[in-house]
Structure formats: structure tokens, C-alpha cells
Amino acid sequence: MLNKLRWPLSALIILMVPALFWDNLLAQLGLQLVDRSITVARYTLGIGLWLSVAWLAIRLLDAVVWDRLAARKAGGGPPKLMKDLLAAIIWAVAAAGITGGVFDLPITGLWATSGALGLVVGLAVQSMINDVFSGLALNIDRPFRPGQWVALNLRGQEPFVGKVRDTNWRSTRLETIDGLLLVIPNGLMSTSVLTNFSEPHTRSRFKVNICLDFGVPVERAQRILGAAVRSTAGVLSEPPPKVNVGDVSRYGVEYELIYWLEPAECSPAKGRSRVTTSVLAHLHSAGITPAYEKMDVFHGPMPPRQLDSAHDRKALLARVALFRTLGDGELAHLASQLTLVRFHEGDTVVAQGEDGESMYIVVEGLLHVFAPGADGVEMKVAQLVPGQFFGEMSLLSGAPRSATVRAATDAVTFEIGRASFKELLAQRTDIAVDIAQVVAERRTGNAARRKPVGEISKSEETPASYAMHLLGKMRSLFGLAERKNGADGSA
């Protein structure tokens, strides 16, 4: 302590002697010094006195208060910032003393001037001042001490983890696991959520997640992972590590490995790395790998993404409502009997009055049906879209084509010849019934359109009665079997 006070005390004593004996000295020497030199000498003496008093006060504070505090609180010591601040205040008092005491200047004016100046400077270095005051708050609050491991959690970012080196006026310095120095402004440090791994206890709890395949029984997984964590160097045995079953993800089962570390002995990052390494080694020995993204692949023919009318006849036929009841073999047989016929826009597919030898199924495109109206002039009576059929009337009745069918766009059709049609109907009465109903509706519609407006039909014929009549005709023509369920109305 004496050592510390030696120099400021000497300076004070040296200056005190001439100050005390000033008048006597002048009288004894009887020297007539120039006024100016006297003034300069007095000023120097006054300034020197104030400064040495301030210096002595700071040193005394150092020796009496701060050093004792440091001795009492092992490891921590007094905050450097506090020391600096008090020293600054003492220097400021000395400066005020010099202004008022030595130069006889009004101190209030000085304070006022420095206040205005302070405002201007303050605005210019706002963030720095914020950092300084935050640093002061951190020093008083002391949420961490040098040597402790902390994590700074900034919103939307990975936390910064490091060992506190020190906090100065502007920033706090952290030493990371990679040996880097993070300089964090105190403003940020005091406004962020901070995790201190060494407070309130010197040990902290950490967690590592590991995902294992569903195939690994939970009991086995817990045994292997538990052993892996417990055998990790640096992991505390008390409180004991735990292996909890966490979420079930699409990769497998997540296990939470919970363990405790003394961060001063083993940093969080080092502990994490050691635990993970140990877990991988234990899993490797047990023949298990951590779960990873998997995909089940089944070998099989890929369904066609786009049916081709030339090659996928069977699949296309299966989509036609009329043939929905046909089995796989029947469809295949029918497909083998078809002819693919393409038409260009405007082509006449069938013309009214011609002999008909086949019917068509629309696969692609649009066709229009034209028939004579009441005035005998041809008019459009219907349109045909994919899945519908035409040309069936002539095949069934043997009569000439009842209407003209033209392609409204380029079109693709399947043509079925009379023989194949006959064969199909002979085998599938239900198809014959469906066709008879469609034909009856089309025919009745056409007949109604041909009648002059206002003329009332004297005929008793309805679509249903005509369908029955047609079915009877088809039986004799194609040798259809009687339907037992009476669906055709003839049972």
C-alpha cells in the first residue's frame, strides 16, 4: 500500500512546502520577481496541488476500498468500470477545483458550457453512450463474471456461446470455442436474453437430440445411448444423465440425451461434441446408424401417363360408358376387332341415306349430327363428344343412315364392323339394352323435330316402347338371349 502512495505523497509534500512558506520565502529572499512569473508559479503550484490531491485520493481508494474488495471476493473483484468511473469523477472535481480555486473562474458557467457541449457530443455518439451506460449496468448487475460461459440469444440467430473475458466501457469480449474473440457492444449485451451456464450453480444442463430408426426398440436405444452419454469425459455423474423419448418424426424416433456439465471444466460446445462422438461410437458398435431420410421403392410396371389411341385401345375402351360392364378379356377381344379411323375437321363420316356397315366410338374431338327438320332443310340436331357412339341405328335396323355426321374438329374414332357388333351384342345383352335405349331416344327426338310446329303426334310410340320394340328386333337379328332379370322389359 505504501508503495502505491509513495509518488503522489511525495508530489504533495514537495508542493506543500513552498505553498506554506510562500510569503516568508519572498520576504527572506527579498527578491523582486516579475509579477507574471509569480502568477505562473502560483498557478502551477495550485494546479499541481489539486492534481496531486486527486491522484492521492484515487490511489487511496484503490488501496483501501478496491484491493480489499478484491481480496474478499475471490475471483470476481471490483468492477473495473466502477473504478474508472469514480476516478473520472475525482478528476472532474479536481478540474472544477482548479477552475474555481486557482483561476478564480465561476464554476457554474463552466458547468453550463460543458452541459451544452455534452449535449452536442452526446447526440453524435449516442450508441457509444448507450454502450457505456449498458456496461455500467452490467457491472452493477453482474449477470456474468470473467471466466464464465454464457450464450447470447439474439432473435432469429444461432446463439453466440463463449467464455467471458472482460467487460470494458464499450463492449464485452467473449472467447469462443474456436479460439475467436467476440466483441459484443454492451448495448446489445444488456438488451439480449443471456444464458449463464455457471449461475446460479456452477453446473448446467445440456441436451443433444438423436434420431434412431423405428426398427430400434426403445429399450435398446435407451440402453445404448445412456451408456454413451455416461461414458463421455466431462459429463457429470451427478445429476445423472437421462435418455428421454422425444418426438416421432418421419425419419424415426427422436431421443433427448440430457446431461450436466461444469462449463468451467468442459465448455458446452466441447461437451456436445464429446457426447455426439461417444453416441456415434456406441451406435456403430451396436450396428445402428442414426435415422436418415428413406424412401420405399416398389418394382412394378408404371401406369401409362398418357394413353395412345393407336396402342392403348383396351384402356381407352374401358373408359367408354357403354362398355363399362365388359371384363378384361372381353375388352381385349373387342379392342382387337376395332379399326382406328381419323377424320379432319369438316370431313363427313356418315352421310344420310347411305348404307351403314359399321358404328363408331368417339375417342378424341367433336362431331356434329345433322338431320332434316320439319321444312326438310338439314339442321344440326346433336353433338358427339368422346365416349359417345354413332352409326348404330343402321346396324341395328338395316335401314340407311338416318342422319349425317361431320367432324367439327379433327377427330379420332374406333370403328366397329357389323360382324363384331353382332358378336358383342350376342354376348352382352346389357349392352344391347343400353344401345336400344339411346337409339330410341335419338329416334324419338329426330321424329319430333321433323313434325311441323303445332302438329300433335297421333302415334303412341315413346322412347321406352320403341326401345322394347328394338330389342325384340335385335333378338331375332343377332340371336340375343332373353334377360332373366327383366331389365329389357321383355322378361
Q: Which is nearer to ligand CMP, 81 or 371 (CB)?
A: 371
- The minimum distance between CB 397 and ligand CMP, in angstroms, equals 8
Q: Which is nearer to ligand CMP, 131 or 434 (CB)?
A: 434
- The minimum distance between CB 297 and ligand CMP, in angstroms, equals 49
Neighbours of 348 (CB within 10 A): 13
Q: Which is nearer to ligand CMP, 345 or 357 (CB)?
A: 357
Sign of the CA dihedral with 390 first, then 393, 399, and 402 last: negative
User: b/e map of 156-174 (b: 16 or more CB within 10 Å)?
Assistant: eeeebbbbbeebbbbbbbb
Q: Please name the residues in contact with 197: beta carbons below 8 A apart, sequence gap of 6 or more.
A: 148, 149, 150, 151, 204, 261, 263, 268
Tell me how far CA of residue 84 lies from CA of 98, 130, 166, in angstroms: 21, 17, 14
- The minimum distance between CB 360 and ligand CMP, in angstroms, equals 8
Question: Does 474 sit near ligand CMP (CB under 6 A)?
Answer: no
Q: Which is nearer to ligand CMP, 87 or 381 (CB)?
A: 381
Question: Does 442 sit near ligand CMP (CB under 6 A)?
Answer: yes
Q: Which is nearer to ligand CMP, 203 or 473 (CB)?
A: 473
Question: Does 350 sit near ligand CMP (CB under 6 A)?
Answer: yes
User: From the list 171, 190, 232, 446, which residue makes contact with ligand CMP (rule: CB under 6 A)?
Assistant: 446
Separation between Cα atoms, residue 146 and residue 144, nearest integer Å: 7
User: From the list 246, 387, 445, 472, which residue makes contact with ligand CMP (rule: CB under 6 A)?
Assistant: 445
Tell me how far CA of residue 158 lies from CA of 91, 104, 155, 177, 181, in angstroms: 43, 59, 8, 15, 17
Helix (H, G, I), strand (E, B) or coil at 122: helix
Q: Which residues from 101-140 bind ligand CMP, rule CB under 6 A?
A: none
- The minimum distance between CB 477 and ligand CMP, in angstroms, equals 14
- The minimum distance between CB 311 and ligand CMP, in angstroms, equals 27
| DSSP structure string for 242-285 | EEEEEEE-SSSEEEEEEEEE-TTTS-HHHHHHHHHHHHHHHHHH
Provide the mask over 371-410, with x wherever binding to ligand CMP is found by CB under 6 A and - wherever it is not: x---------xx-------xxxxx------xxx-x-----
User: From the list 97, 241, 271, 356, which residue makes contact with ligand CMP (rule: CB under 6 A)?
Assistant: 356
Separation between Cα atoms, residue 340 and residue 317, nearest integer Å: 12
Question: Can you give the binding site for ligand CMP, defined by CB under 6 A?
Answer: 350, 356, 369, 371, 381-382, 390-394, 401-403, 405, 442, 445-446
